[in-house]
A and B are shown apart, each in its own frame.
Chain A
Amino acid sequence: MLGGFDYVHPRSTEDACRLLAETADARILAGGTDLLVEIRNGLRAPSLLVDVKRIDELACLDTDGTEWIVGATVPLNVLAERRAIRDALPALADAAVSIGTYQLRNRATLAGNLCNASPAADSAPVLLAIGASVSVAGPGGRRTVPISELFAGAKRTCLEPGEIVTDVRIPARPDGMRCAFLKQQRIRGHDLAVVNVAGAYHPETKRLHIAIGSCAPTPILLEPIEATGSAAAVADLGIGLAEAATSPISDVRASADYRRAVLPILLRRLIGRLLDGGGP
């Protein structure tokens, strides 16, 4: 038995919010791959799990041409295996398949990865760089939160009690944007990130958006870079901004020194690929 919690599976978002608000320590259950491990390991002891997988509106995966809507309960494999996502946002697909194992990705969700708010969340850098946002429902109604405002601290989001993320909204590759994702692991097998980075480059405006994970209490979006000049020069600029904006720590996974050493390497490779490498 994982714990002494109770379990409900509401059929509407409004019911889910109400249930959350009624029980202070209730937690949302989507994929459960973070939550159930935390409960097993004694890090959390909620009295109620609110399973949102029966709520139809949370299961959509669709685009209206201007943005993709990834419902909160869409498993990562479904997202990554959607051909249109692969084509339009390959970096998002790459980030998604870098999370855990194939089995895990049949349960884990994009929204869950974001709301778990690990500084190393693999979905965060891409979504930050692309300028995605989350739709939130709560007691006060619905609102949209840019991902850049979502993370309040390590493992903390800005969501208020009773609020749930209903979907992730991702701009559908405007103006020929190119995106890329790189992740440094300790092993080729499934692993958390030691450092992860993503970039989105808009060739028409020459604007480059870089986001970095695992190097600060939250994933970090750098200020936009005007990518004029050679890839090498742009990389130097990006690395300078990154070093000023991040504060890697030493933990059981890696030392701060290693993170500081690898971050510029990944950034240089990322920027090189975006500016010179071609491809979406």
Chain B
Amino acid sequence: MIRVFAVCGMGLGTSAILKTRLKAALDASGVDYMLDVTDASAARGQQADLIFTSAELAEGLKGSPAKIVIIKNFMDREEINEKVKEAIEELQ
């Protein structure tokens, strides 16, 4: 079971959208996962394996033991699918 976070500034609007895209990609990959949305400060204090976020917020998450994946365009399903695939291959 891997723990995944979608992170945006408030953990409200953008990350909720990101969550739907991530869910589709994670389902396709076939791994067992738990997916939640949150904001940057909460993400820092929680146990996670994978964190998907924007370039600006990734800066503040540097200390986290989780693998940080930067998504450039939150609407681009292809980018998200590709990055999820890469990240999961790396984790395994």
**Does A pair with B?**
no
* Partner-A contacts on B (CB < 8 A): none
* Partner-B contacts on A (CB < 8 A): none
